Chain A
Amino acid sequence: QVQLVESGGGVVQPGGSLRLSCAGSGFTFSGHSMHWVRQSPGKGLEWLTFIRYDGSDRYYADSVKGRFTISRDNSKSTLYLQMNSLRTDDTAVYHCAADTAMGRFDYWGQGTLVTVSS
């Protein structure tokens, strides 16, 4: 059974940092490129960042470029998102997703809530 389980969410003050993790199981994690997608309260899904299956390429949405860093450890089947300089508009549920081809997210996690508030 395929599972993606996010963790690391919580409440953080503006300007603070947080590191999210996404543990994969039930599929060949190292064979899939991975993404982070978020949903802010009352808003739609927003693609944030992508890392190729072997870590060779990374891309970021303009909204998080320079502040967020995606990484992965295939030996642990785990994806990470280091979030720095957090702003109140970063408040959202953060999902990780595995793709089979660009834009085809076959597997998703249920998400972890990040709240940025003073």
Chain B
Amino acid sequence: DTEVTQTPKHLVMGMTNKKSLKCEQHMGHRAMYWYKQKAKKPPELMFVYSYEKLSINESVPSRFSPECPNSSLLNLHLHALQPEDSALYLCASSQRASGFSTDTQYFGPGTRLTVL
């Protein structure tokens, strides 16, 4: 099983809402990632978790709050977002705890987020 699943597929939220994105993998991977992707642009790294601990935070605004409850699950909590946060949010995982830049990353299909 080489699948990363993400829910929901689409999300529309107002600027005062609180919502969460979920990501799950059952490949036994030790690193998990959140990316933000605007249309026709490469993915921008937001956060990296290694062994369920936050390893990289790319200076992401605090209105985005990641959580890794266990080695298979990754959440992204959203609060007080801005319209410019509308994007495709991708989750990925890779095998080794320290292979952020060397291991193959397996991506989920993403959550298309629209902030009104």
Question: Are A and B interaction partners?
Answer: no
Q: Which A residues contact B (CB, under 8 angstroms)?
A: none
Q: Which B residues contact A (CB, under 8 angstroms)?
A: none
